[in-house]
Amino acid sequence: MIGSYSLNFGLFFSFFIIFFSINNLKNAENLDKKIISFTFLQFFFVIISFVGLIVSFINSDFSNETVFNHSHTTKPLFYKISGTWGNHEGSLLLWLLVLTLFVFIFLLKSDRQPKNYRIFTLLFQQIIIIGFFVFLIKTSSPFNFIFPVPEEGLGLNPILQDPALAIHPPILYLGYVGSSIIFSSALAAMVSSYVSKEWAKHIKQWVLVSWIFLTLGILLGSVWAYYELGWGGFWFWDPVENVSLMPWFALTTLLHCILVLEKKGILTSWAMVLSIATFALSMSGTFLVRSGILNSVHTFANDPERGLFILIFLFSLIFLSIFIFFFFHKDKEKTENNFFWLSKETSILVNNWFMMYFLSVVLIGTIYPIFLEVLTSNKISVGPPFYNKLILPLLIPFLFAMAIGPKLKWIKSDFQDKLNMLLLLIISFLISALIIKEFDISFLVNTILVSSAFFLFFVTLREFFIKKLKNLSQNVAHFGFSLLILSILLNNIFSTEVITNLKIGETFKSDKFSINFANIVQENGKNFKSIIGKFKVEHEDGSIDALRPELRIYNQPNIVTSEADIKTNFFTDKFITMNYVQNQEYFNIRYQVKPLMIWIWISVLLLSFGGLMSMFKKRYEI
C-alpha cells in the first residue's frame, strides 16, 4: 500500500527535479540546494517502497501478488528477504533504488565540477529514472493486490535459495547502474562541452566503481553456478552469463581508454561511444534476462507489453545519445598524433582493439541465434566450442601485449630490459612445455597459450619487486588477470571426472582413487528434507576424504535439488554430487578433481582489489 504510493511520489519528484533543474540551468551561478534535497527525497520514497516490499516478504503478506508468487511461510528469513529481488518486479525496484541512490551520491560528490555539467547529468539520469518508474508502475508493479488473500505462497525456486545468489543481484546491479551514471555524464559532458581531461579524471572514479561491482557480481554468479548447478563448471557461455560479460568488456575497455583521455586529451569520441555502449549493454542485459527473450524468442510474445516497453525505451535512449553525439560532440582533438609505434598509447589501443573483438564475439554469439530464428526459423546453438575457437587464439597476442604494454612509456619508448623479458619468456615456455608434455596432452596451442599466460604471470610478478609500489594497483589487477587465465587454462586441461552409478555399500575403483558409498542419512531443514550420502574417497597416497553430497527435497515448490560437497585446498577441489536414478536403488555419482579452482576465485578478487586500490590512489601516476 505505502509502497505503491511512495513510488508515485517518487515519480512526481522526477518532474519537480527536472523543472527546477531547467530553471537552475538558465539563471543561477551555483547548483540549487533544493535540487539536491529533491533527489534525496526521491531516493527516500523509493527506499520506503523497497522497505515496504521487504516487510511484506518478511511478514509473508500474501495479499501482495509478488509475495504470493515468490515466497512461502516456511522459507528461512534470509531467503524471504533475498526473495524481494529474486523476481522480475522486485529486481526492477532494486534497479530504481540504486539509480536514485547513485544520482544522489553523484550530486554530492561532484561539487567541484561545472554547474551545467552536473545539471545535465542529473537531467539525463532523471530521464532514465522516469523510464524505470513508468515501466515499474505500468507493467510490473510489485504491489498488486490479490483478493481473496491466499493462505500460502508459491515459494521461491530452491536453486535461488543460496547465500551467493542472494547478494549476487544487488552487487551486479550496482555495477550496471553505475554505468548509467557514466552514460548520463558522458551525454552531459558533450552537451555542456566538458569532454576534457578533467571530465576523464572525474568519471574515472565512477568507471572504477561500476567495474569493481560488475566484476564481483559476475564472480558471485559463477561461484554459485559452480557449487549449485551440480556439473562442476563455472562458466558455460550461456546467454545469461554472456549478457553480464559484455558490459564488463566494454567497461574494461573504457577504463583503459579513459587513462589515455585523462593523460593526453585524445580519444574523446571513442570514450563517448564506449560510455554509451556500456550502458546500452548493461540495460539490454538486465532486460533481456528479466524478460526471458534470451532463452527462447517465444517468451517474448508471452508478455508483449513489457517487451515492447523495453524495446521502445532502449531505442529512444540510444537514439537520444546518437543525436547528442552527432550534434553536440565536437572532436577537438589535434589531428596530429605525436606518439610512436612503441609507446603506452599503442599498448592501450591494442587493449581496446582486442577487448572490442572479444566483445563482438560474445555479442554476435549471443544475439545472432535469436535473429536467425526470427528471420529463417532455423534454430542453432552457439556454445562453448564457438567461443573457444574464436577467443583462445587471440588471447595469446593479447596476453603478450598485456605483459609488455605497462612497461612502455608515453609517446615513445624503447624496449627496456630486453634480456630479462626474453629470459622470462623462455622460462614460461619451458615450464608450459614441461607441464603439457608431462601429462601427455600434446597440443601446440595449449603450450603456447599457457606460456603466454605464464609470461604475463612472471612479468607482473617481477614488477612487484622492481617497481616498488609505483603503480601498484595496475600491477595487482594485471597480475590477478594473469592468475585468472592461468588457473582457468590449467583447470580446463587437468580436470578429471568420474561418472558412475553406485548402490549403498558399493565401491568404485580406478587406478588413482576409490570411492566408497558408505551410507545415507536423512535430515530435516527448515523448508526441505535432505538425504545426505556419505562417501569415502581414498587416494593413491592413502589419504582419505569424507564427502557428503546432499539431495534436498524442498516443500514449496516441490523441487529436488542436488547440493555438491566440495573439499577445497590450495591445489585442487574435490567435487562430488549425487542424483537419483529413476526407479532404482542406484544413485548417480559424479566425482571431479578440479585443480586450482580456488585460484580462479582469488584471482578475480585480486583483479577487483586492483580496481579498488586505483580508486583510492591520490594521484595519477602511470
Partner 1 sequence: MRLLHIFFIIVLIFNFNLIKADEIETENKIAKNLRCLICQGQSVYDSDSEFALSLKLVISNKISEGMTEEQIYSFLKKKYGEWILYDPVLNKNTYFLWLMPLLIFLVGGAIIIKKFYIRK
Residues that bind partner 1 (CB under 8 A): 229, 231, 233, 236, 238-240, 295, 335, 337, 339, 341, 345-346, 349, 353, 356-357, 360-361, 364-365, 368, 372, 376, 378-386, 389-390, 394, 579, 582, 588, 590
Measured from the CB atom, the residue of 421 and 593 that comes closer to partner 1 is 593
Nearest distance in Å: CB 409, partner 1: 17
* Shortest distance, position 138 Cβ to partner 1, whole Å: 29
| Closer residue to partner 1, CB minimum distance, 163 or 384 | 384
CB of 380 to partner 1, least distance (A): 5
Nearer to partner 1, 294 or 596 (CB): 294
Q: 294 vs 606, which CB is nearer to partner 1?
A: 294
Q: For residue 275, count other CB atoms closer than 10 A to its CB.
A: 29
| Axis-axis angle for helices 88-109, 33-58 (nearest 10) | 150
**Of residues 574, 427, 449, 582, the one with CA closest to residue 513:** 574
Closest separation in Å from C-beta 304 to partner 1: 23
Cα–Cα distance for residue pair 541/323, rounded to 1 Å: 68
Give the Cα separation of 328 and 344 in Å (integer). Answer: 30
Closer residue to partner 1 (CB): 412 or 462: 412
The smaller minimum CB distance to partner 1, of residues 379 and 567, is found at 379
Q: How far is CA 431 from the centre of its chain?
A: 33
Instruction: Please state the closest distance from residue 444 (CB atom) to partner 1, in A.
Output: 18
Q: Which one, 137 or 396, has the nearer CB to partner 1?
A: 396
* Torsion from C-alpha of 458, 461, 464, 470, nearest 10 degrees: 70
Say which residue the cell 543561477 belongs to.
28
CA-wise closest residue to 323 among 610, 508, 124: 124
Q: CB of residue 241 vs partner 1: minimum separation in angstroms? A: 9
List Cβ neighbours of 122 (8 Å cut-off, separation of 6 or more): 17, 21, 35, 39, 103, 106, 107, 184
Nearer to partner 1, 61 or 241 (CB): 241
Nearest residue (CB) to partner 1, 516 versus 579? 579
Residue 478 sits at φ, ψ, to 5 deg, of: -65, -40
Question: C-beta of 60: minimal distance to partner 1 in Å?
Answer: 28
Least distance in Å: CB of 41 to partner 1? 42
SS3 (DSSP) at 307: helix
CB of 29 to partner 1, least distance (A): 40
- What three-state secondary structure class fits 498? strand
Contact yes or no for 84/53 (Cβ under 8 A): yes
**Which three three-digit cell numbers place residue 61?**
503478506
Count of CB atoms situated within 10 Å of the CB of 502: 20
In this structure, is the dihedral angle defined by the CA atoms of residues 344, 346, 349 and 354, taken in order, positive or negative? Answer: negative
- The C-alpha atoms of residue 541 and residue 529 are separated, in whole angstroms, by 36
- CA quadruple 489, 495, 499, 502: dihedral, nearest 10: -150
